[in-house]
Amino acid sequence: MDCRQFCLPPPLSREVISRFEEVGGGDLYQEKASRYWDALREYFSLKLLAEVPPATEDTRPDRKQMVTSLISEVWGGSLDNASCVDCCCGSGVIAEAIRECGGQPCGYDNDPTLIALGLQSRRLHPHQVMHIDALRATDYIAPATYGVGCMLGGDITAFNAGMWADIVFELLALSEQTLITTATEPEIRRVEEWAVAEGRTCEIRENERDPIYDRWVCIASV
């Protein structure tokens, strides 16, 4: 149902390829790694969609445009077709916003019903999403220039802060320019502390576009 058993493999050495040919193990085909991973994600996404009932609709109609405006403001217009990590992607509203800003989202979430909803609504594209544990995102995703985590946590408290810190560390490891939003200022100040601890330069903004989901913004740069 998901691709958790498929981690990024090490590159094949010439010795391994030569040995494979010597033992007559089969035929060798060369393909771009990005094309292979797109196909793998698509296979498991379509399998998930066929097996998992989607969640009920969970988003406001105007949220996509608000996030699109925020991303465009922070990163100055088009993302020029660059890959953008979409942490805890949910049902795909942020993925749509990333595409509108000219980026290619690579999303992940641990809730299969939300992913199924995103696939069903076509906000998520099968080759651009994974059902994985966000605590292990670096096992599955190659580093990118951009990374987004919108409405991170839902409610970051003393009880769950350790888990969310680890999720943020994974997102920071995968992106040079990282945009994280939360609903409240205390939550974004926690995020800022985590990002600074990882050597990032941070800017905190209050986002007046959205008084609910993405009110507070942390822009963390290398």
- What is the H or E stretch that residue 74 is in? helix 63-75
pLDDT tens digits along 120-148 = 999 999 999 999 999 999 999 999 999 99
**Model-level pTM greater than 0.85?**
yes
Residue type, 25: G
pLDDT tens digits along 68-84 = 999 999 999 889 999 99
* Short-list 111, 152, 105, CA closest to 127: 105
Question: What's the mean pLDDT in 8-26?
Answer: 69
Instruction: Give the pLDDT of residue 4.
Output: 41
Residue type, 156: I
Question: What's the mean pLDDT in 182-188?
Answer: 95
Instruction: Give the pLDDT of residue 1.
Output: 39
Instruction: Give the pLDDT of residue 7.
Output: 54
Q: How confident is the model at residue 26 (pLDDT cuts 50, 70, 90)?
A: low
- Encoded tokens for 62: 């105007």
Domains and CATH numbers, the chain: 63-221 (3.40.50.150)
CA dist list (Å): 69 to 77, 92, 98, 144: 9, 16, 10, 21
pLDDT tens digits along 103-118 = 999 999 999 999 999 9
Residue 16 has pLDDT above 90, yes or no: no
Q: Which segments of 102-205 does DSSP mark as H helices, in order?
A: 112-121, 161-174, 185-197
Contacts of 153 (CB under 8 A, 6+ apart): 160, 164, 182, 187
Instruction: Give the pLDDT of residue 22.
Output: 73
**Distance (Å, whole) CA 102 – CA 182:** 23
Q: How confident is the model at residue 28 (pLDDT cuts 50, 70, 90)?
A: low
